[in-house]
Structure 1
Amino acid sequence: MDYNGLVYITNHQQTPQLQMRNKSEIKALSESPSGKLSYLLGRCSKDNNPLEALRLYDEALVNNVPLNVEHYNKLLYLCSSSNTELGLERGFEIFRKMESNVVPNEATFTTMARLAAFKDDPEMAFDLVKKMKEGCGISPRLRSYVPALSGFCKKGLADKAYEVDGYMIENGVMAEEGELGLLLRVSVGAGRVEKVYEMLQRLRGSVRQVSEETAGLVEEWFRSGVAEGVGVKSWDVGKVKDAVVEGGGGWHGVGWLGEGKWEVTRIEMDESGVCGSCGEKLVSVDIDPLETENFASSLSTLACQRETRADFLQFQEWLQKHGPFDAVVDGANVGHIKQNYFDFNQLKSAVNSTRRLSPSNRLPLVILHSGRVKGQQNWNQKNRMALQHWKESGALYVTPQGSNDDWYWLYAAISSKCLLVTNDEMRDHLFELLGTSFFPRWKEKHQVRLSVTREGLKFHMPPPYSIVIQESEKGSWHIPTVTGDDFETRRQWVCAHRIKH
């Protein structure tokens, strides 16, 4: 194979002699003292046996066995996970030896930061992260910062925790719910009201629904005396409204509004998004149309990389000719709801019901895999006629053999800016590749889910409000939790609003 003038020989192209030489080299390496040590340390990691690993290390030093960065990292990991004074002492000893022999990497510094945290020295953990970045030019990952951040938070050293947070932001590392929860807790404990407000806003921006632990912490804050004493009696209503519009809805970021004690309850929203506790109505947060276009473009690029490029480009041309649609139906998923076999009658029912949702009574686009359609000779005549009708109406696209039809129905729905009828949770590897905060927001507004009842299929439409932390113009807060969100159990929200006197 030739890339940019360089020739690469694949395993299939290698001569038998070259393949034999490679195998012999690998065998020799594995049977060398270093190779054997690596294998045995791996066994120690699997068995969580730090004492045996330390014995092997001492033996290797006596026998002058050369150690590489992987050897040292396995040893340090076992020391950090032992939670013993011996592990702590030997870990720092091994690290000093390592620094004089090999170049540490990110895993090394992260493990040492954990050891420093175990030593109850978050300052050292933070220094190690800074040394990694500034001294060695290694970019720390989120996990690298956690020992220092959690250590300072545990000690109640809020300013030091904020310093770590600031260093993370400066280096392009974004805190997730766990880290924001730590910062929120230390801010609540220190009575740093402006920081509590900041952390709630950051949770709103990065987390769709909070865990039970975070929800409990939020409740603790709003029930505190400090929360009762913070806020303003009057404010510029116009300024707040303008801030809400500018932010896209659901928040204003102006600061704590209102005075007095908060009423904090767990509540469910009705179907229109009205809170049963405070009576306020949740809003639907806007999605920037440009975000949708950019996401569709990114999705197309990914699909062309993962699918046969010509096949997906052909689909896009077909979509340009026949679209946009009011809805897209994931045929395979809908046909399998509540059973292990494909039920075409169930799919027909879903298509007909979806059509009735269309303002123009137009058929939705049905995506079906070619393998499914080729089996149509086993279907009855009515089903074959329905399939032919969809095809002639430009409402059926059959994905080619070997393709993943997930790419097709998702791209069609996003590019058409329409409803997507599927019970697919969209959590597998394909959707992880999308790696963006846009996708869960889009899914929330466009996915129609189905349940099977005695009366037939029941459609569960997207909520008319956004399931995200919301701050109202009146100063109340609504925080969605991970509890609920299925057909039988409604989602639990934390509602916090000022008690009226």
Structure 2
Amino acid sequence: MPIASEVLEGDLPLRVNYLQLETKKRAATDNTNHESKRCVQKKKKFTPDSELRFKLESCSKVGDVTGALDIYDSSKDQGVKLSQYHYNVLLYLCSSAALGVILALDRGLEIYERMKLEGISANEAAFTSIARLAVAKRDGDLAFSLVKEMTTSGITPKLRSYGPALYTYFKSNRVDKAFEVDDHMRSFGVQPEEMELQILLELSLKAGQEQRVYSVLHRLRRSVREVSPSTATTIERWFSSDAASSSGSDKKYDDEDVRRALAAQGGGGLELGWIGSGRWSVKRTALDASGVCESCRHKMAAVDLNAEETNRFAENLAALACEKERDANSFKEFQEWMAEHGPFDAIVDGANVALFNQNFSAGGFSFSQLNSVVTELSNQHGKSPLVILHKRRVTGGPAASPQSQELLKQWTAANALYTAATGSNDDWYWLYAAVTCKCLLVSNDEMRDHLFQMLGNDLFPRWKERHQVKLRALSYNPFFDMPPPYSTVIQECENGSWHFPISRGNDEDDEAEEPHKQPRSWLCIRRDEETK
């Protein structure tokens, strides 16, 4: 993910530059689609419309905004009616040149006004170009009005749609307008990412608005696992400021209040407001292998989804499964079965476990290996597991042997086996079972394919970290690689102190597997009185 400093320090916000690429891709695609038509029509006489299209496309290829404007003026004088496509090309060229050519900015806005007067509706490509003109003009109100116009036109805004307005309000220090953009964004189900949240944090910091800072920090906690170096610097500046020192109160919370608050957030956060008073101590530090901060000696929590997030994740998962499954009734039958026979202490991805390390000549689907994992979970770990298998795994092949049939019979009788129907994807089944049971999932599946990508980056990675158990070895007795003892996420601790893990860029290898690497840097932030 691009670091937020590229937004705050550059001349254009990164998402606006991304919009330019997207627009250019659309233009290139349109050019390709019309290339073959031009070859066929090469010897035919151009109509005014096709001649205008050809000339504008030629200008677009070389970025010739002056030539395109001359063509536009000539066409207007000749009474040639422009289509949405013509306007898109003109607006794109003007927006691309607007930062360096004032004429392009003024003419682009003029062209947009004429487009509206002629009743030509703007599509996302046109709104994108006009938004870039608004950035060049430093007109946040125009950029924001364009997003609102998109919604009234029936176009669903995306995260990148809000970048121009948010960025221009940031540059002009209009904190209330920036938060108005944020409210509008969330009202349409668009969730800001670290870049957008850092802008809100910077504005709140400059204005000394402690409650907004507190709110944004918790939004960061819920939406990103670690902060970029740029965001870490912004956080350090806030906690070193006079406004941060004057934030908070001497109100005392009893242990039960704190426990309830932590449980409500799934651990790792209180959301009770600033706790304590006085100046803050801000240090860069590291954690030991068990998750203890080397600066303050506080142990980081193992942060899970809270109850509301778990329910939402389960509902989203079930909705996706019913939408993608060949027969939605099969999955609904599984939900009913789980409601009757659950919950379970562990879910076993049967096929993944049975095929673990079986990539040798005599290897294959091993029921004995699967049984050893089930037995280990039951006997040594005190877990009552449920095995999920696809129907094709329980009929014929390795399942036909007497030993396998006996195991299947035992598991079925104990309600410890569920067989996904023909045509179903058993991945939906074992994942849904583990989420609804709030239990461990035994599987070495990395869960990176398109199915899991549909679950998004909000809840799924956090759930996976706390619930997936991997097999490390299977010689005689299975060896389980349990979830880590703490979560590498932003944490607000019981005493009101904060810890922020700092991203190492693309080098995000597991520290336990790469002990020679430098330990991850964390921000440890607590009141000065706690350091005495």
TM-score category by the smaller chain?
0.7 to 0.9
Mapping of 1:333-412 within 5 angstroms?
333-334=352-353, 344=364, 349=369, 352-353=372-373, 355-358=375-378, 361=382, 364-370=385-391, 376-377=397-398, 394-412=415-433
- Partner Cα distance (2:70, 2:238) in 1: 50
Mapping of 1:2-81 within 5 angstroms?
49=63, 51=65, 61=76, 66-81=81-96
- Partner Cα distance (2:284, 2:473) in 1: 33
The offset of 1:326, in angstroms, is 2.2
What amino acid sits opposite 2:464 in the alignment?
K
After TM superposition, the structure 1 stretch with the greater mean CA deviation from structure 2, 174-183 or 277-286, is 277-286
Normalised to the residue count of structure 1, the TM-score between the two structures is 0.75
Deviations 1:5-37 (A, max 9, x none): xxxxxxxxxxxxxxxxxxxxxx99x97875787
- 1:229 is matched with which residue: 224, 229, 245? 245
Q: Secondary structure at the match of 1:431?
A: helix
Pick closer, same or farther for the CA change 1:169–1:400 going to 2, 3 Å.
Answer: closer
Q: Which runs of 5+ in 1 are unaligned?
A: 1-26
- 2:271 is matched with which residue: 249, 252, 258? 252
Pick closer, same or farther for the CA change 1:338–1:94 going to 2, 3 Å.
Answer: farther
1:121 aligns with 2:139: yes
Q: Secondary structure at the match of 1:275?
A: coil
Pick closer, same or farther for the CA change 1:58–1:254 going to 2, 3 Å.
Answer: same
CA contact (8 A) 1:352 1:363 kept: no
2:168 alignment counterpart: 151
After TM superposition, the structure 1 stretch with the greater mean CA deviation from structure 2, 373-382 or 434-443, is 373-382
After TM superposition, the structure 1 stretch with the greater mean CA deviation from structure 2, 390-399 or 119-128, is 390-399
Q: Secondary structure at the match of 1:459?
A: strand
CA contact (8 A) 1:447 1:461 kept: yes
Pick closer, same or farther for the CA change 1:409–1:34 going to 2, 3 Å.
Answer: farther
After TM superposition, the structure 1 stretch with the greater mean CA deviation from structure 2, 384-393 or 434-443, is 384-393
1:496 aligns with 2:525: yes
- 1:415 is matched with which residue: 424, 431, 436? 436
2:20 alignment counterpart: none
- 1:267 is matched with which residue: 257, 282, 286? 286
1:142 alignment counterpart: 159
Q: Secondary structure at the match of 2:254?
A: helix
The offset of 1:177, in angstroms, is 2.0
The offset of 1:253, in angstroms, is 3.1
Mapping of 1:417-496 within 5 angstroms?
417-434=438-455, 437-451=458-472, 458-483=479-504, 484=508, 486=510, 487-489=512-514, 493-496=522-525
2:200 alignment counterpart: 183
Q: Secondary structure at the match of 1:237?
A: coil
CA contact (8 A) 1:110 1:129 kept: no
2:254 alignment counterpart: 238
The offset of 1:286, in angstroms, is 6.4
Q: CA RMSD in A?
A: 4.4
Pick closer, same or farther for the CA change 1:164–1:413 going to 2, 3 Å.
Answer: closer
Pick closer, same or farther for the CA change 1:364–1:42 going to 2, 3 Å.
Answer: farther
- Partner Cα distance (1:324, 1:65) in 2: 70
CA contact (8 A) 2:264 2:306 kept: no
- Partner Cα distance (2:413, 2:232) in 1: 52
The offset of 1:107, in angstroms, is 4.5
- Partner Cα distance (1:310, 1:141) in 2: 33
- Partner Cα distance (2:56, 2:478) in 1: 57
Pick closer, same or farther for the CA change 1:168–1:268 going to 2, 3 Å.
Answer: same
- Partner Cα distance (2:393, 2:70) in 1: 60
2:12 alignment counterpart: none
- Partner Cα distance (1:452, 1:36) in 2: 69
What amino acid sits opposite 2:501 in the alignment?
P
Aligned-residue sequence identity (percent) comes to 44
Q: Which runs of 5+ in 2 are unaligned?
A: 1-36, 42-46
- Partner Cα distance (1:140, 1:78) in 2: 22
The offset of 1:117, in angstroms, is 0.8
- Partner Cα distance (2:63, 2:191) in 1: 34
The offset of 1:368, in angstroms, is 3.6
1:326 aligns with 2:345: yes
- Partner Cα distance (1:452, 1:60) in 2: 74
1:10 alignment counterpart: none
1:306 aligns with 2:297: no
Normalised to the residue count of structure 2, the TM-score between the two structures is 0.71
CA contact (8 A) 2:276 2:527 kept: no
